[in-house]
Every structure is written in structure tokens, then in C-alpha cells.
Amino acid sequence: MKRTFLTYIFLCFFICGAFSQDRIKELSDSVVTKSSFDTIKFKLDKPYLISIKTGFSNHIERDDAMSPFIYRGTAFPIELCYRYVGTNSRQLFYVNYDKLKLVSKLPNYEDYGLNHYVQNTNLRMGYSYMQRVICLEKISCELYLGCEINSLLNLRQQAYIGNNEFLMLDQFNSLSLTTQIEKRFANNKQIAIINLSMPFVSYVLMRGTYNAYVGDKIDPVMNYSGNMLWYMAKNGNVVSLNKLVLIKADLAFIRFLSNHIGFEFKYSFCYYRFTQYDNLNYSRDLQNSVLLGLIIKL
């Protein structure tokens, strides 16, 4: 009798244990399935994102071909951005524009006709395609690698005395390597993005400029009567990292308030150093921007 009772107790524990294991497995499968569904939903539900942002930017610049001084200024840029969020890929198109006045430590004597400043116009645009290479599900983090085609224009009108002005520009058209890290949060309404890009080959205009009057590209321009823009475009140079160092980094945080509307906060850093003339003259530019704007899911 005692042996039968012990056997009964053992069978009860065995059945309960088997049931518990099956139940735990079901719950585990349910959690994994839900997690996978949320991930897929984030990537496929309304994958088109459009944002428009504005804010504050600080510029520090020096161009040895025009002046030995450092010029600084602030601006209120505007940026338009389009993102495609695919299952295993990302696409990004952006346009950033600002216009500002740069000044140095040299004083202005306006009563005597001496004004010393730089009217600076900046335009950056690019398109990138990236493919996912690493996915860390436990921390909801993904790494993407790809390429970017971008263009940068930095146009400078430097005033000296009265109405005298000297015109100089940096214009780069680059093929860049780009990487992006994304961190999603539990409710899929928040995401942090880090993007870094650097060109490995570029087509640049107006290289070989010694000063505002002398240079390989300036001399023929002085007496040219045709289309100046077309002339400069077809007489550019292909350069690599030994002539142009350009680093662009963005840190963005996106918070969706509903299924369609949210806001984006972004910090942007852009620096370049361009060799103007036989490793002697350089143009250098540093931009720091803080932007805030509206983002829409389509």
C-alpha cells in the first residue's frame, strides 16, 4: 500500500513537471514570436519617413588662399530628410542649407569704408544605401554598412574695402563609405541613430588656388567669356584622402507621438580639410549643428 502511494505521488509530480515544461515552452515561443512580430512591424509598417528640421549651427573656417585669419559665425540652417526603412536595408536622402556672415578678430572701420567679413553660403546634399550586417536582438541594436553619394558647396564672398569682394568656393562631389547604428526601444516609438560617413574619392572644383588672383584654375578664368559654371565643372580634379579629408557624423533621436507624427532631435558634425596648392595652402571648415523638427510616417 505504501509503495503504491509513493508510485502515485511520483506519477503526479512527473505529469505536473511535463505540463509545466510544455507550458513554459509555449510561453517562451509566444514571447519570441511577439518579439519577432514587433521587429518586423517596426520595419515594414509605414516604412517611409520624411522630416524637416531647423535649429542652430556654429561655423569655424579658414581659407589660406584668401586670408590667414580664422572666421566664425552662427546660422539657422534648414534640413529636409527622407528615409526608407526596409526589412534589411536603409536608404537616406538629405538636403541641408544655410547662409551666414563670418567675421574675424579684425575690426571694421565702416566710417572709413573698411568692412572685413565673409558672406558664406553652404549647401550639402546626399543619398545613401546601407545593408544590415549585424543584428543584436537582445539589446535591439543593428549595424548597417553602405555607400553614399554626396555633394558639398561652400561659397565665400570676402569683403575688404568698400565694395571690393573676392570670391572663393569649395565644391566636392564624393563617393563615401557610410555606417549606421540603430537602437530601438521597447515600445518601438523611440529610436536612436548614429551615422558616420567619410569619402574615399571625390571630384572637386577650383583646386590649385594659390590666392584670389593666382592659381592653376584661376588664371584661365580671368579672360574666359563662356559659361563660367560649365567651365569649372568640366575642369575639376579627382582627389582621394591625401587631398581631401572630410568627416560627417550625425546623432539623431526620434520619438513618435502617434502612428504618423513624431519629432526628431539631431546633432550634426561636419569637418573638412582640402589641400589647395601643393600641400601649402588649405581650406578648413568645421560645422556643429543642433536641429529639431517634425517627422512624418507615410
**CA-closest candidate to residue 245, choices 151, 172, 144:** 172
Q: Which amino acid is at 187?
A: N
Q: Which residues of the chain have pLDDT under 70?
A: 1-46, 110-114, 161-164, 212-226, 228
Return the pLDDT at 291. Answer: 97
Distance separating alpha carbons of residues 104 and 108, to the nearest angstrom: 10
Return the pLDDT at 216. Answer: 66
Distance separating alpha carbons of residues 38 and 291, to the nearest angstrom: 29
Sequence-distant (6+) residues with CB within 8 A of 182 are 141, 142, 144, 191, 192, 193
DSSP β-bridge partners for residue 88: none
On the CB side of 185, CA atoms within 13 Å amount to 10
Return the pLDDT at 206. Answer: 77
Domain parsing of the chain, residue ranges = 1-44, 46-297
Q: Which amino acid is at 90?
A: R
φ, ψ of residue 243 in degrees (nearest 5): -110, -35
> Burial, 149: exposed, middle or buried (Cβ in 10 Å; 0-12, 13-18, 19+)?
middle
Return the pLDDT at 5. Answer: 42
Distances 208 to 64, 164, 216, 246 between C-alpha atoms, Å? 12, 23, 5, 18
Region 46-297: CATH code: 2.40.128.90
Distance separating alpha carbons of residues 86 and 97, to the nearest angstrom: 28
Residue 266 · residue 28 · CB < 8 Å:
no
Distances 43 to 8, 33, 295 between C-alpha atoms, Å? 53, 16, 16
φ, ψ of residue 77 in degrees (nearest 5): -75, 165
DSSP β-bridge partners for residue 256: 262
φ, ψ of residue 292 in degrees (nearest 5): -140, 135
Other beta carbons within 10 Å of 102: 19
- pLDDT tens digits, one per residue of 251-279: 999 999 988 899 999 999 999 999 887 77
Element (H, E) at 44: helix 2-44
Name the grid cell of 216: 592653376
- pLDDT tens digits, one per residue of 187-222: 778 999 999 999 999 999 877 777 766 666 666 666
**CA-closest candidate to residue 131, choices 118, 145, 119:** 145
DSSP β-bridge partners for residue 127: 93, 149
Return the pLDDT at 122. Answer: 96
Distance separating alpha carbons of residues 110 and 213, to the nearest angstrom: 25
Return the pLDDT at 59. Answer: 97
